[in-house]
Amino acid sequence: MAQRPTSAVPAFTLVELMIVIAIVALLVAMLLPVISKARRAANAAKCLSNMRNMQVAHWMYVTENGGYLIQAGLSHGGVDANEPVAWINTLQRYFGQNLLHRCPSDQSIHWPGEPGVPVPPTIDQFRRTSYGINDFLDWNLVPWGGPYKKITQIPRAAATIQFVEMVETGQFAGADHPHVENWMPAMNPNAPPIVAASQLQTHRHGGRPKSWESMCNYGYLDGHAEAQRFRDVFVNFTQNRFDPQVAQ
């Protein structure tokens, strides 16, 4: 008995297959920047949430401690890997859950573990936090004015920065505070974004590195946090949001 002929299954030609591959590659190339941009935006939002949580914890600390402000504790050049970060540990008790002290966009090589490169110039000290405290708000570090020991001494808390994002490389990668007073060497009006970028990761969430348009997150003493361009937080020593005497 003769078998019924089966219908032939159409097959792709080599040219058709190459066209399909090219189309898929084009779609992937178009989607990757969108996905990357969405990931950066999500990480920036998570970092902002970290800062807001720190500000909430800090307000609880201030309320319970007679208005006194938290202080920084890490010197430049890092700290021994086994030594805790004082202000992170202190605020943790007030937050009630895990207080995240690493920004999800932080790619520093100086964290303990892999690759675990020590913070220069040391051979055994590592990064402990992505964040730092404005040195004007630490009564042992304040370069002029103050000393600001209590929040009641700050005239405009909503305009005064408390938490910043520390730079990922160099000596300040292991510290938990910048030195704002060094940002205008010889009163050079063009120097601030360049010098500040050696202490803060000013372009972590956008903008060109070492520029006035570089953008990162800043936490304010009144409890709010926002992403801002460098030019919005510092112009010179009489126009900035770090020095409580001029912040507005």
* Residues ≥6 apart with Cβ < 8 Å to 107: 168
**CA-to-CA separations, 196 to 8, 109, 110, 229, 246, in angstroms, rounded:** 70, 20, 19, 12, 18
- What residue ranges do the domains of the chain occupy? 14-240
Residues 4-58 have pLDDT tens digits of 555 555 666 877 778 878 788 777 777 666 666 678 788 889 999 999 999 999 9
In the three-class reduction of DSSP (H, G, I as helix; E, B as strand; rest coil), residue 133 is classed as strand
pTM of the model: 0.83
The per-residue pLDDT for 81 is 46
Residue 246 scores a pLDDT above 70: yes
> Which DSSP category does 131 fall into?
E
